[in-house]
Amino acid sequence: MKYFFLCPTALLLGLICLATYAQTDVNRLDSLRKASEADSIRKIGQEPFFKNSSIDMKRGKSGSRVGSDHVAKIGFGALIGMPVAEFQQVAGDVIPWGYGINAVFRLTGRSSPFFAGFDFGYMGMGRTVDAFTGFAGSTNRVIRRNRIITGHVLVRFQPIIGGPIRPYLDGMLGLKYFRTATEIENNFRNTWSNSNTNRNAVTVPNHEDLALSYGGGIGINIVLGNNVWLDLRSVYLPGTVASYVKRGDVYPDPNDPNRTIVVKSRSATHMLNHQVGITFSF
């Protein structure tokens, strides 16, 4: 029966010893912490560790977020448009390409992740060139160009994070402008000859139309240097119905040389645009 009471007693003694040992460790850790704080206090007022280095302590602290406090970004680059859905079915396999320009400005101070600005795009949608020999050996050309010009108001959300890669989201609202025109170049001599080129160009519009455009996309800025970024972006821009002219659908009337036939196509104008370019931050 006595062993029945010895077991709880031994257990209690073990717990008391364990608590005493734990308290000793706590006191030891507390002493080490106080000693560390005292050592840190003694170092206050001493010269910075990076004083003689090319890295400044204050700048180094925010170095991983270079460009995060810039108030404006201006970019430009190559632009490729891909008609999708009904637009692709009607327009065919044409791939518009050209260039894009955008500029955004930070809203409500340097710490805001929101920007607002504009986006502009210019893309060719195919062209045809006809040449014929005129008087005195001159070469005359008739060039028919199909273009898509886009303009949007842009709102951007770009989180303030560190690292060399900065993702962002864009929301866009604007217009797509479809234009087809014929350019007639008279007295255009052979470019391989040494004769003077007397070039008189006349542009005749064949067709114009507008479509409402809206949508958004994603992109990333990759740091290349001081205030210079590689910009990669893809945006999906649905568009309302508009009429446009496909390549080869403008030609002279075989029954009347002074008359031009313009064949118009019509559909919704959804596009998926990809842009690769350079962005400068200020």
User: Domain ranges in the chain?
Assistant: 2-46, 71-281
Q: Model confidence over 23-37: pLDDT tens digits? A: 445 455 456 565 555
Burial 212-240 (b: 16+ CB within 10 A, else e): ebbbebebebebeeeeebbbbbebbbbbe
Most confident region among 6-10, 139-143, 155-159, 181-185 by mean pLDDT: 155-159
pLDDT band at 104 (very low <50, low <70, confident <90, very high): very high
φ/ψ (deg, to 5) at 227: 70, 20
pLDDT more than 90, % of the chain: 47
| Average pLDDT over the chain, rounded to an integer | 78
CA atoms within 13 A on the CB side of 279: 25
Residue 223 pLDDT > 50, yes or no? yes
Asked if 178 contacts 244 with a C-beta cutoff of 8 angstroms, the reply is yes
Residue 187 pLDDT > 80, yes or no? no
**Residue predicted with more confidence, 215 or 260:** 215
The answer to whether the predicted template modeling score (pTM) of the entire model surpasses 0.85 is no
CATH number of 71-281: 2.40.160.20
Residue 28 pLDDT? 58
d(CA 67, CA 74): 13
d(CA 74, CA 119): 10
Identify which of 160, 146, 182, 178 has the alpha carbon closest to the alpha carbon of residue 106.
160
